Amino acid sequence: MGDDAMAREQARLLRQAIYRAGIRREQLWLHYFSLGGEAGETEVDAYLHQSFSLPPFQRDLLAHAANELIALIPPQQAPYVSDLVDGDNAEED
Mean pLDDT of 9-27: 96
Amino acid 85: pLDDT? 84
Q: Could you tell me if 62 and 28 are in contact, meaning their C-beta atoms sit under 8 angstroms apart? A: yes
Look at the pTM and tell me if it is higher than 0.85: no
At how many degrees (to 10) do helices 56-71 and 41-48 cross? 90
- The pLDDT of residue 50 is 93
Give the whole-angstrom CA distance, residue 76 versus residue 78.
Answer: 7
Instruction: Give helix 3-21 / helix 56-71 axis angle, nearest 10°.
Output: 20
pLDDT category of residue 16 using cuts at 50, 70 and 90: very high
